[in-house]
Amino acid sequence: MDIPGLPARRAARKLIDAVLRRGETLDQAGHNAVQGLAADSDKALARAIAGETLRWLADLDALIDSATAQILPDDAKPRAVLRLMLAQWLRLGTPPHAVVATALPLLVGGPKRLAHGVFATLTRRGAKLPEAPSLPAAVAARWGERSGAIAAALAVPPPLDLALKDWTATGEWAERLGGFSLMPGHVRLPRGEAVERLPGFAEGAWWVQDLAASLAGRLVGTSGSSGRALDLCAAPGGKTLQLAAAGWSVTALDLSAKRLERLGENLSRCGLAAQVVVADALAWEADGAFDAILLDAPCTATGTCRRHPDVLHRITPTQIREMAELQQRLLERAARWLAPGGRLVYAVCSLEREEGEDQAARIALPVDPIRSDELPEGLVPTSEGWLRTDPGMLAEAGGLDGFFVGRWQAAGQ
């Protein structure tokens, strides 16, 4: 019979292994890794251990290396188990005796004594982690001078952002939900409570959407005459909801039928409408021009590192290059469908310049500069009229995801 708590630790190790060895996301690995865990609490624990291990991986390895006579290989089993042990003790507050009882059995047939000895040495020393996680060296080099502020933001769980259907009721919903607002149509809450139980969910008064993610949809603007808007790569659908609530006649296109099911559910819950199309944007042909096109393009998603620490370890220069090539092809197609005088908004939840600024520089349309008065206080456009956010910004208010957003307007007739 398994030791109580051991299956969750075994699942956590599988999750981490899937990320570090096979380059899978935590979400992709989750289904297989947690099979056999009956309790939701065990599934949540496995994900929490894996997430904290990946978030603090460089610092956990530094502690392990400080307590061994010889440096353990990166893929050594004792290092893998020690990472889990330290993450539980130092990040999740698990008592050392419980850590030992539930982790050492993972080293069946392996050097349990070594792992136990290293862990005992570190607990005797009163080992501590730094205030903020250390980014992998390659990641810090890519993110440059902002890497320190981004790393600091990783130590704090991200808040819950809600986008309101009716912006005029912002104050009312902030009070009713016990949150605060950073701009009209937005309410921020601490994480923890089940979303479905919050006031306003059942009646469709709002949907969950990170503040940074919501800015791209906002920057499309409103439509007073039911103009046509195309939301390319629309799933999971927050931006489609924004456009529909702003008065646009929306076509929402995405390759994933499964992910579009969630969009359909949210449209119904919120009493909004859109034409939902399952298609490959690189093969689909529009039936006419659009007054606004929003391309929230597939990307490496490194800007979501607060929520998905796996991106710190599995994204490679090759993946960045491949995504940039796909984004360029999508932008070329989107520009073909833009009506004279129409507006194009391009966005990625990536911190990589190749997916943001470098893409924007290639777009052969007049820039429609983003203005400071369109953004939350504390965010400012770049000198080119674009927007760059990262998790270290608005830190006092809880931060936000990393995004790049650019806006252009086609010449009129």
Q: How confident is the chain (413 residues) per 10-residue block, as mean pLDDT?
A: 82 95 90 82 93 97 95 93 97 96 88 94 97 96 96 93 97 96 97 91 97 97 83 94 96 94 95 96 94 97 96 97 98 95 97 98 95 97 97 96 97 77
Q: Which of 125, 143, 172 is the last residue of a domain?
A: 125
Euclidean distance between CA atoms 319 and 340, whole angstroms: 35
Give the per-residue pLDDT at 191: 87
Q: Total structural domains in the chain?
A: 2
Give the per-residue pLDDT at 224: 63
Whether 197 maps to a domain, the answer reads no
Give the residue numbers marked as catalytic: 349
Give the per-residue pLDDT at 36: 79
Give the per-residue pLDDT at 225: 63
Using CA atoms, how far residue 149 sits from 115, 134, 157, 172, 404, in Å, is 33, 11, 15, 33, 17
- The answer to whether 313 touches 19, Cβ cutoff 8 Å, is yes
Using CA atoms, how far residue 281 sits from 204, 214, 229, 286, 297, in Å, is 29, 22, 15, 10, 11
Q: Which of 125, 149, 180 is the last residue of a domain?
A: 125
Q: Which of 79, 94, 125 is the last residue of a domain?
A: 125
Specify the amino acid at residue 131. Answer: E
Task: Give yes or no: residues 258 and 392 share one domain.
Answer: yes
Task: Give yes or no: residues 238 and 382 share one domain.
Answer: yes
3-state secondary structure the chain: CCCCCHHHHHHHHHHHHHHHHHCCCHHHHHHHHCCCCCCHHHHHHHHHHHHHHHHCHHHHHHHHHHCCCCCCCCCCHHHHHHHHHHHHHHHCCCCHHHHHHHHHHHHCCCCHHHHHHHHHHHHHHCCCCCCCCCCCHHHHHHHHHHHHHHHHHHCCCCCEEEEECCHHHHHHHHHHHCCECCCCCEEEECCCCCHHHCCCCCCCCEEECCHHHHHHHHCCCCCCCCCEEEEECCCCCHHHHHHHHCCCEEEEEECCHHHHHHHHHHHHHHCCCCEEEECCCCCCCCCCCEEEEEEECCCCCHHHCCCCCCHHHHCCHHHHHHHHHHHHHHHHHHHHCEEEEEEEEEEECCCCHHHCHHHHHHCCCCECCCCHHHCCCCCCCCCCCCEEECCCCCHHHCCCCCEEEEEEECCCC
- The boundaries of the domain holding residue 261 are 210-409
Residue 247, token pair as written in the block: 């008065």
Task: Give yes or no: residues 110 and 222 share one domain.
Answer: no
CATH of the domain at 110: 1.10.940.10
Give the per-residue pLDDT at 362: 95
Beta bridge partners of 277: 253
Beta bridge partners of 294: 231, 345
Whether 308 maps to a domain, the answer reads yes
- The answer to whether 397 touches 188, Cβ cutoff 8 Å, is yes
Whether 225 maps to a domain, the answer reads yes
Whether 350 maps to a domain, the answer reads yes
Give the per-residue pLDDT at 262: 92
In 3D space, the residue among 372, 390, 406 whose CA is nearest the CA of residue 220 turns out to be 406
Residue 380, token pair as written in the block: 């400012």
Give the per-residue pLDDT at 350: 98
Task: Give yes or no: residues 262 and 395 share one domain.
Answer: yes
Whether 300 maps to a domain, the answer reads yes
In 3D space, the residue among 217, 273, 266 whose CA is nearest the CA of residue 244 turns out to be 273
The number of angstroms, rounded, from the C-alpha of 258 to the middle of its chain's C-alpha atoms is 19
Task: Give yes or no: residues 116 and 241 share one domain.
Answer: no
Q: What is the dihedral sign for C-alpha 126, 132, 137, 138?
A: positive
